[in-house]
Amino acid sequence: MTFLLFIVSTLISFLVAKSTFISNWLTKWNSKFSAAEKELHKQKRALKQEQQQYSMIDDFAKYSKLQRKINAIDEQLEKCVNTKNPFWTVVLFNYGPKVVLSMVLLILTVYYRRTPLFKLPDFVDLSPFNNVISYPNERNFVSFHFWVMSCNVAARTIKIW
């Protein structure tokens, strides 16, 4: 049981510290273009290429007609973007994983506050810090909340992503 608790607490601590990686992935996944948006972008690209064939001064009528079509496509794309409700998706995807994982970690910390994760050998003496490391337990035991706090500090210090 304590080995599983040791692994789970370490993983969740690292995931909380590196939750920006998860939120960036979720944001990219959510902001993918739909089929209609892809088609509109394709039409806009084709109209832009066709518009580049004409001179703005010499072929003003054709050039402006294409520009009006491009503007209409831009308006449709703007409507598609506005329907996605970006404020809530940003809040949900940027802060959601961090809040959920932090709450799981908090619940585990409260529930297993008196559970020692492992015992340090007797020859290891961490004299000034023994009470902090093994707070509700006996000497040379590492408590759950100290381990979670140590994992969070280590995870925030390590620059992986």
pLDDT in tens, 89-118: 777 777 878 888 889 988 988 888 888 887
Are 114 and 137 in contact by the 8 Å Cβ rule? The answer is yes
Q: Which of 75, 73, 68, 74 is nearest to 51 (CA)?
A: 68
Q: Return the beta strands (E) in the chain as ranges.
A: 116-119, 141-143
pLDDT in tens, 12-58: 888 888 777 777 777 777 667 777 777 888 888 988 888 888 888 88
What crossing angle do the helices spanning 144-157 and 2-17 adopt, rounded to 10°?
40
Residue 85: count other Cβ atoms within 10 Å of its Cβ. 10
Adjacent-strand bridge partners of 116: 143
Check residue 84 and give its pLDDT. 63
Provide, rounded to the nearest whole percent, the portion of the chain with pLDDT above 90: 1
User: pTM for this one?
Assistant: 0.58
